[in-house]
Amino acid sequence: MPNKRSTSHKLNILIIDDEMAIRKTLTVCLEDEGHRIRSVSNGVDALSEIQRHAFDVVFLDLRLPDANGLDLIPEIHSRAPWIRIVVITAYASVENAVEAMRRGAADYIPKPFEPEEVRVVTRRLEKVRSLELRVSSLEEQVNRLEPGIQLSSESAAMQQAIETARKAAPTDSIILLTGESGTGKTVFARAIHDWSNRANGPFGVISCPTIPAELLESELFGHVKGAFTGAVRDNPGRISACEGGTLFLDEIGDMPLSIQPKLLRFLQERTYERVGEQTTRHADVRILAATNTNLKKAIAEGMFREDLYYRLNVIDILLPPLRERTGDITSLARSFLEFFARMNHKTIHQFTPEALVSLQQYSWPGNVRELRNAVERAVILTQFESIRKDDLPERLYNTSNEPALGDALSLERIEELHIRRVLASTASIQEAADILGIDVSTLYRRRQKYGI
């Protein structure tokens, strides 16, 4: 029985050999190991398959009816530089082996071979691929420098959300995460990936509001060199980069209408084309999505496709706002305190009782993100071993008078307050951006800045 991807990263493998018996032998051997196999008998079909699918490993015969295998090695790498090529040939020689390695082959197996020889080589390449993906994941986490959040809660609604996510994670079902901005939808998406059978595969994120509409299609599906001004090289796109893993589409309610039919097609058929190219490609990628907007309202306004909504809404998980899970505020704040104290090389042990009261009584319109930012600020500014009330942002404890125009406030503070009020009174990010007179990507950056 094939191994699950949760224990190791199973490979997409292409076999290129003109002997049917060899193709069948390799296919049986490698499928028994749990890998996904395609096979062809000639060079033309091989390059066509590599153009359409994302492979990790190629087993390449050196003598093909229409090509010299040695010449195919650089051709394959020009289309997919990451592919490991294992040369197989009945005409083994030291010269051939050296030349194959010089051109970029990863290994060399002479015919006739035993199945165990193939397994040994493949297991080594499987470990290499798993390590590459692990390093990539760790680099992503280091670059984000985000504190880990314990996915546990005293809130019944949050407990239900966690339970649903755990049940759905091992499947390949699409999950739509809904809730206010800052409730932790990206953290939740990452947890679902980590709980899934794709945990050793890549995890990618596209934030729909932060990428200009004219570039979002290219970022998602990729493009070929010369497809548009500035396309100076091929870009495989995030779908290709997440082969065998998970792609998280954040704030999908802000996806332009022009791209929505192409996403719907990919969700239904797992096929797509890169911008500027007619070749149809296939990908094994699980899609997770999130929104803080009312998609049904967006459908009624003609801003979101109804068929895409129902395709995305297979499993809907609502994350409650922080004001509805006040029992979690203290534990979350302490988790952030521990992380930021360590990151800033400070010895800070706790919050004072007055500080905890302020944290508990505040309404947290920016939810968990705002709490995180408040604790990070306090850790950086405090000169004590405990976080005091005065170390926290003033808005958390000075709520007696609502600020108004003309008050002694900085322009930055006025901007923050105004953005918060507009976001609270509108149904979508686009509507808020229109009222504020800025584009969605600028509004997104302001929300990140102020922890909204």
* pLDDT, tens only, 160-200: 999 999 999 999 999 999 998 889 899 999 999 999 999 88
Q: Kindly report which listed range (286-295, 365-374, 433-442) carries the lowest average pLDDT score.
A: 433-442
* pLDDT, tens only, 379-396: 999 999 999 999 998 888
The ranges assigned to domains in the chain are 12-135, 156-320, 324-450
* pLDDT, tens only, 428-445: 778 788 888 888 888 888
What pLDDT was estimated at residue 136? 66
Return the CATH number of 12-135, one of 3.30.1360.40, 3.40.190.10, 3.40.50.2300, 3.30.460.80: 3.40.50.2300
Listing DSSP states for 58-117 in one string gives EEEESEETTEEHHHHHHHHHHH-TT-EEEEEESS--HHHHHHHHHHT-SEEEESS--HHH
Return the CATH class of domain 324-450: mainly alpha
Residue/partner pairs of 96-99 with CB below 8 Å, 24 or more apart? 96/62, 96/70, 99/70
**Positive or negative CA dihedral for 223, 224, 225, 226?**
negative
User: Where do we find the tokens 């009330």?
Assistant: 389
Q: In which band, very low, low, confident or very high, does the pLDDT at 63 lie, cut at 50, 70 and 90? A: confident
What pLDDT was estimated at residue 400? 54
- Minimal CA–CA distance to 413: which of 360, 450, 438, 386? 450
Q: What is the enclosing helix (H) or strand (E) of 48?
A: helix 43-52
Packing angle of the helix pair 353-361, 329-343 (nearest 10 deg): 120
- The verdict on domain 156-320 having CATH code 3.40.50.300 is yes
- Is a pLDDT exceeding 50 seen at residue 1? no
What pLDDT was estimated at residue 250? 94
Average pLDDT over the chain, rounded to an integer? 86
Same CATH topology for 12-135 and 156-320: the answer is: yes
- Is a pLDDT exceeding 80 seen at residue 124? yes
